[in-house]
Amino acid sequence: MKTTLRLIALGLSFTATVATAQQFDDAANFALGGFDVTPTVDIGLKYDDNVTRANIDSISSWSRIISPHIMMESSLGASQVTLGYRLRNEDFFSSKEDNYTDHFFVAQADVEFNARNRVIASLNFEDGHDARGSNFSIGTGASLSEPDKYKQTELDILYSYGAFNSDGRLDLNFDIRSLNYDIDTPLYRARDRDISRLAGTFYYRIGAVTDAVFEARYTSIDYQFALNPMNVLDSDEVSYLVGIEWKATAQTSGFAKVGYQEKDFESSLREDFDGFDWELGVLWEPVDYSSLEFITSSGTNETNGEGNFIRDNRFSLEWKHEWLERLRSSVQISFANERYEGQLIDGFDIRSDDNRRLRASVYYQFRRWLNFELGYVYDERESNRDAIDFDRNQFILNALITL
């Protein structure tokens, strides 16, 4: 979990239809009031042959993307403070209704009291959007006059007890997230929700670089408005996972967990769920210039308009290779099955979507301060709801500029 939180803070990760140019490790910074400040800007040109992910009457358009980003880091002994801001603006030349400007803020304190006690606290704010034809507007993107905007705030606190070289370590994690969409009609207000999670993970050393992992999670999901007060979507989830985590053994590192999950709805009109979960990730690095990463998971997500919740299984495989000192590539294929459990509509079968993606990019470091990306993305959805099937091609030329 510590690694995940650090990546969120340092990368200011966000949902986007295309990746930004791969950052290299030598971006310059300057000192300001005790902070090391690293500014960057992404500038991109993209062609999308199905902007709204439509089954018929698709819209194709070129777009221009600009995304300035500033990170501020300050260290005090073993502790560190990070502040960051990113703006992302995309203008579509032939579909102005899809233009957007998103904002992302992060503040994180990574405090190490001593070798056995550490805290990572982060606060994230996102003024973002769902693109037309995605999430709650799947299959109906053309009915919106602009992207579906929202604001999301998240507070995450991780306390870790135990030295990294000790036989046992304990992580306690508290996370609370609030999601609010801008559209204020009852139908759209019913999506707004607060999610609180408490998790504990115990690591027990069973080898020089291998830990047994025991994890328990409790999640409370509270919707701020219900279309039917007698049939709310509020629920509680409990998960138990057990597995192993290993680092750099025989050129691999990774984790493997299996477990059991329960999802209990407050409304007696909705059917509760229990079933098995898994999380698996393996990174294989046969040589220092090439790697292969496989990730798969199974879990539940909140519904986006049909059913009580979404049961999903995800798989992805990514190959990264450094051809020359300044030339790198990345190829990723991913697959997700999403099954919308419960609340059948008009006698239809339970909705099931298969989502596939192929993403390939070549990165070239033209100068220390200038990196280019040439990329291609293919997306496809096959569903037993024929009206929401779609496929899409995107072509990307992107530049990352640093000091």
Per-residue pLDDT at 266: 96
Q: Which of 95-99, 180-184, 388-392 comes out lowest in average pLDDT?
A: 180-184
Per-residue pLDDT at 346: 63
pLDDT at 20 over 90: no
Per-residue pLDDT at 192: 96
Q: 343: pLDDT confidence band, cut at 50, 70 and 90? A: low
Per-residue pLDDT at 22: 53
Q: Which residues contact 202 (CB under 8 A, 6 or more apart)?
A: 168, 169, 170, 171, 213, 214, 215
Asked whether 162 and 202 are in contact (CB, 8 A), the reply is no
Residues pairing with 367 in the sheet: 370
Number of domains in the chain: 1
User: Rounded to whole angstroms, what are the CA distances from 269 to 213, 220, 359?
Assistant: 36, 18, 41
Share of the chain above pLDDT 90, in %: 82
- With CA atoms as reference, report the closest residue to 71 among 118, 120, 104: 104
- With CA atoms as reference, report the closest residue to 283 among 251, 329, 258, 315: 251
Per-residue pLDDT at 282: 96
- Expressed as residue numbers, the domain containing 124 is 2-402
Per-residue pLDDT at 340: 93
Share of the chain above pLDDT 70, in %: 92
pLDDT at 106 over 70: yes
Q: 396: pLDDT confidence band, cut at 50, 70 and 90? A: very high
- For residue 140, the domain's CATH number is 2.40.170
* pTM, entire model: 0.89
Kindly report, residue by residue over 45-65, the tens digit of the pLDDT. Answer: 999 999 999 999 999 999 999
Per-residue pLDDT at 263: 97
> In the predicted model, what is the mean pLDDT of residues 261-277?
95
Kindly report, residue by residue over 63-81, the tens digit of the pLDDT. Answer: 999 999 999 999 988 889 9
pLDDT at 279 over 80: yes
Per-residue pLDDT at 371: 95
SS (H, E, C) the chain: CHHHHHHHHHHCCCCCCCCCCCCCCCCCCEEECCEEEEEEEEEEEEEECCCCCCCCCCCCEEEEEEEEEEEEEEEECCEEEEEEEEEEEEEECCCHHHCEEEEEEEEEEEEEEECCEEEEEEEEEEEEEECCCCHHHCCCHHHCCCCEEEEEEEEEEEEEECCCCCCEEEEEEEEEEEEEECCCCHHHHCCCEEEEEEEEEEEEECCCCEEEEEEEEEEEEEECCCCCCCCCCCEEEEEEEEEEEEEEECCEEEEEEEEEEEEEECCCCCCCEEEEEEEEEEEEEEECCEEEEEEEEEEEEECCCCCCEEEEEEEEEEEEEEEECCEEEEEEEEEEEEEEECCCCCCCCCCEEEEEEEEEEEEEEEECCEEEEEEEEEEEEEECCHHHCEEEEEEEEEEEEEC
> In the predicted model, what is the mean pLDDT of residues 209-216?
96
Q: 7: pLDDT confidence band, cut at 50, 70 and 90? A: very low
